[in-house]
Amino acid sequence: MKHFALKALPNTDGIIRLYGEDFHYLARVKRLKIGDSFDAILPDGTKTTIRILSTVNKILIGECQGLIQPSPIKEKIPPIALFQGLPKGNKMDLIVRQAAEGGISLVRPFRSEYSSGTSSPEKLKRWEKISREAMQQSGSVIITGIWPASSTEELIEYWESTKKQYERPCGIILHQEPLAKGSFHGYLDKDPDFAALAVGPEGGFSPNELKLFMAAGFKPVLMGNTILRTETAALYGCAAIRTILLERENWTTSLKG
């Protein structure tokens, strides 16, 4: 465990109380006892070390031993959102885990016209747990938010509203047809302060959905000459965006040289 992701902030005295699954994981699985310490990350990304004061009545009481502000790398990378058409089966579990490990800020599933997968409060709870565990194991300092599934129209409304909060938002939609000659590097060269990637479910996007995304300003990208599974496309696309933004200073300097 690189660090434990806390669901809530400590009180004004720096005390945190953990119950249920959190207690079981720390006290039973990790076998931590009174006097032991573990690294944790708060919901705002701040790191801390927590010393265990008590484990009575299946409640772990701990005290924060200091606060460390989020890593500067977080400031260099703008938020990255994944808009994922609901896939069939349990593929969304894998997509959420990979997104959390890869430092994606937000995952918003949506019910595409071609979606055969379903969403429910129970699934959302499982996705949130998967995201949290993936973040803890990978050491990512970015809290990956998981939203309930929405309709395509609701997702577009969210995007239109979110765009107004940023100066240089960038939306990219993965498509199996060569709709444009644009590329990840070309779109991300504009130094976006918010990036969103839209990935369809099995079967891709319907013509009507594609029209909605394009009208909302999304730019189409064709990834090579192979058709990827939706879970592969999500991983590939997110990794491409994050890598390009992480290394932007290097490759733009190289181009200028």
- Cα distance between residue 6 and residue 81, in whole Å: 22
- Domain formed by 74-252, architecture: 3-Layer(aba) Sandwich (3.40)
> Which H or E element spans position 242?
helix 230-246
Please give the pLDDT value at position 236. Answer: 93
Please give the pLDDT value at position 70. Answer: 57
65-74, 141-150, 243-252: least confidently modelled range: 65-74
- Cα distance between residue 112 and residue 151, in whole Å: 7
> Residue 123: which residues within 8 A CB-CB, separation 6 or more?
92
Q: Band of the pLDDT at 74, cuts 50, 70, 90? A: very low
Please give the pLDDT value at position 257. Answer: 53
Class in CATH terms, 4-68: mainly beta
Q: Is the pLDDT of residue 78 over 60?
A: yes
Return the SS3 of 200.
coil
Domain ranges of the chain: 4-68, 74-252
DSSP letter, residue 229: P
Mean pLDDT over each residue of the chain, to the nearest integer: 88
Please give the pLDDT value at position 72. Answer: 47
| Mean pLDDT for the stretch of residues 121-127 | 93
R_g over Cα of the chain: 20
255 or 59, greater pLDDT: 59
Residue 52 · residue 34 · CB < 8 Å = yes
Q: Band of the pLDDT at 124, cuts 50, 70, 90? A: very high
| Mean pLDDT for the stretch of residues 186-191 | 89
Q: Band of the pLDDT at 73, cuts 50, 70, 90? A: very low
Please give the pLDDT value at position 46. Answer: 81
